[in-house]
Amino acid sequence: MKPVYLDETKTDAERVSDLVEQMTLEEKCSQLRYDAPAIPRLGIPNYNWWNEALHGVARAGAATVFPQSIGLAAMFDEEFLQKIGDIVATEGRAKYHEAAANGDRGLYKGITFWSPNINIFRDPRWGRGHETYGEDPCLTGRMGTAYIKGIQGNGKRLKAAACVKHFAAHSGPEKGRHSFNSIVSKKDLNETYYPAFEKCVKDAKVEGIMGGYNRLNGEAACGSYSMITELLREKWGFDGYYVSDCGAIKDFHMFHGLTATAAESGALALKSGCDLNCGAVYLHLMNAYVQGLISEEDINKAVYHVMMTRMRLGMFDEHNEYENIPYEINDCKEHHDQALIAAEKSMILLKNNGMLPLKKEEIKTVAVIGPNADSDEILKGNYNGTATEKYTLLEGIRNAIGDSARIYYSEGAHLYRENVESLAEADDRIKEAVTIAKRSDVVILCLGLNGTLEGEEGDANNSYAGADKADLNLPESQMRLLKAVCETGKQVVLLLATGSAMAINHAAEHCDAILQVWYPGQMGGIAAANLLFGKTSPSGKLPVTFYRTTEELPDFTDYSMKNRTYRYMEQEALYPFGYGLSYGDFTYDGLGVDQVVPGTDGYVRISVSVRNNSAVECEEVTQVYIKITNSLFAVPNYTLTDFKRVHLQSGEKKQIEFLLPASVFMVINDEGERILDGDKAFIYVGGSQPDARSIKLTGKTPLNSVIEIGGLK
């Protein structure tokens, strides 16, 4: 007779409960490791939970490499990001079934993806910020939800299991992260750090949550009953599995000083609600049980959660709807084409004095200069797969120009070292760059960083700055090159490849055009060339603020949001959150605001028309901001509350509608409670923030209206 856990006529809850009952205590403990061993007598194969899919299936050979997450955020395009998530899950399934068929169940071969990273990019110095969707809770929650829905699918079974990380209030510094204690107020937690996680739990039904290395207000992120059980499970309704970051539980006794032994650390994590251990501490669970530190009931709860995830993935079904996805669909041309579109949508035109788009018929010579011009490394970001087709910026430009013009190329400078072997050698590189710049009609200068200069602790492998950035400046070697090239008097367009905001004041003043390309994925070079030569119009918007100086930032270890990000900053931005230019020209009119459903559970409807006045087909990101007046608890600046990407033909006009829940007009008090307060809510709708700097840069003033806060009660 077929056991209940294999009987597909039973509910998942019945099947998982039966499966847990069949296991011995030792077997149960073994399944709480990320590298869970097989239980042959129950027909359970070994399974390694650790896989990554930040912007494509990672670390397991060939896969489509999309732009790094910060670039995906710059698209402000939920529908397309969900499609990308579906592609990633499709490739993950194809690889998983092929590997399993060949008996390969090792690291990075599973379909539990420890992605996306939805931490708030609160400080541009954080090395892992490019893994996130930027600095804003609304954008982060919306983009994270879209990616999760794409990965998990809408079938009977999960296509793959997404996992949001790192819960909670984790965003650097990388050095010392194993002992760091994030001190965060209730207001900041509920206003900034928690909302994206809550949305991904409630709206996306994310299957996994990973805890960070840090303590939060003294409690370990992987050992806090109040955070994991009371907040996530009981208040938000999370019913998936909770996993520790890798090695985080051993930090309890090694660095945080919360426990004395590995057994005590494992007990604290398990009883708090951490189901799965990435690391080795849960090898001590039987010891903890013998010591009376944990009960079998504690173990059963965790085993139930991890086995439910495997059940939801169809691992105990005879057949599932994804098993016939062919291996051939992995890394295919159709997916590469989508990576190209993503790269085009992600890039942001920060400045254009009329130089762009370039006209090939008017150009006879082009100088492509810079350490990032022919760099494969900038295409990758981190947590990346292996691209089998890829194009550097130089290769993309060559493909676009063909034989119509002469292309000169010079590295110009080392990426970060001032003295390569000697200052004379560095000067030789700059002199070569100046020589070709003088001979060219246009200069394309390719500067920035790469994932080895800003990344995760232990990943950065150079002496420039390590994982986090020391400051917001370009390396001195690149600054000398930038100044020398600009001094030639030639037209210069800067292609800036970074994963974070930089203080590019000199470039903003002296370059004719600036295109932020991020870490653009395998098709990045083609995408940049398409934008440079007008085959496509730029449409990305900044998911982070570009500051003018490092000095205006608070201390890196200060987790208070005061003077951080566009919502709280006190100085004027160099380039503001939500900003990005286009080759199109858009006008807005007919703003209408009315309350559809009254009350604090109701909605406010906003309608507006947007028209493309230009001769080119292009896309616009319409953004909705609010500002609450006369409330001590209101965010000091503006708050993004909604957005939509709109495709417009030349001369086309579309009406757009937004439904804003009454909750977005509430404020967070010092106890972390959401309340109605203040007298008015100003609503702004347009292609950017309504701040003075955005208006100056774009020449456009968003439309605005006002509603009475009292009318929402």
**Cβ–Cβ under 8 Å, residues 183 and 169:** no
DSSP state, residue 441: S
Please state, as a whole number, how many other Cβ atoms lie within 10 Å of the Cβ of residue 699: 8
**Cβ–Cβ under 8 Å, residues 559 and 214:** no
Residue 59 and residue 204: Cα distance in Å, rounded? 25
Which DSSP helix (H) or strand (E) runs through 366?
A: strand 365-369
Which DSSP helix (H) or strand (E) runs through 629?
A: strand 618-629
Query: In the chain, where does the domain assigned CATH 3.40.50.1700 lie?
Result: 347-544
Phi, psi of 431 (to 5 degrees): -60, -40
What ranges make up the beta strands (E) of 152-207? 163-167, 181-182
CATH class of 347-544: alpha beta
Query: In the chain, where does the domain assigned CATH 2.60.40.10 lie?
Result: 586-712
Is domain 4-329 given the CATH code 3.20.20.300 in the classification? yes
Structure tokens at 506: 């000199």
DSSP state, residue 353: S
Q: Which CATH architecture has domain 586-712?
A: Sandwich (2.60)
The catalytic position among 131, 454, 512, 620 is 454
Q: What pLDDT was estimated at residue 706?
A: 95
162: Cβ contacts below 8 Å, ≥ 6 apart: 85, 113, 115, 116, 147, 148, 151, 152, 204, 206, 207, 208
**Cβ–Cβ under 8 Å, residues 396 and 529:** yes
pLDDT digits (tens, 9 = 90+) for 293-309: 999 999 999 999 999 99
Residue 696 and residue 626: Cα distance in Å, rounded? 20
Pairing between β-strand 492-497 and β-strand 365-369 as defined by DSSP bridges? unpaired
Sign of the Cα pseudo-torsion (242, 248, 252, 253, in order): positive
Residue 646 and residue 622: Cα distance in Å, rounded? 7
Rg, C-alpha atoms of the chain: 26
**Cβ–Cβ under 8 Å, residues 96 and 35:** no
Report which of 614, 61, 648, 77 is spatially closest to residue 341, judged by C-alpha positions: 77
Please state, as a whole number, how many other Cβ atoms lie within 10 Å of the Cβ of residue 86: 19
The answer to whether 104 is a known catalytic residue is no
Please state, as a whole number, how many other Cβ atoms lie within 10 Å of the Cβ of residue 240: 24
Q: How far is CA 623 from CA 80, 139, 583, 610, in A?
A: 17, 11, 18, 12
- Which residues, in sequence order, are bridge partners of residue 102? none
Phi, psi of 148 (to 5 degrees): -60, -45
Residue 82 and residue 78: Cα distance in Å, rounded? 6
Residue 248 and residue 219: Cα distance in Å, rounded? 13
pTM: 0.97
Phi, psi of 425 (to 5 degrees): -65, -40
Q: Please state the length of the chain.
A: 713
Residue type, 299: I
Residue type, 348: I
**Cβ–Cβ under 8 Å, residues 120 and 171:** yes
Residue type, 48: N
What average pLDDT values come out for the chain (713 residues) when binned by 10 residues?
A: 95 98 98 98 97 97 98 98 98 97 96 98 97 98 98 97 97 93 98 98 98 98 98 98 98 98 98 98 98 98 98 96 97 98 98 97 97 98 97 98 96 82 70 97 98 80 67 95 98 98 98 98 98 98 98 97 98 98 97 82 93 96 98 98 98 97 96 96 98 98 94 76
The catalytic position among 198, 245, 275, 642 is 245
The answer to whether 245 is a known catalytic residue is yes
**Whether residue 501 has a cis bond before it, omega within 30° of 0:** no
Residue 73 DSSP SS3? helix
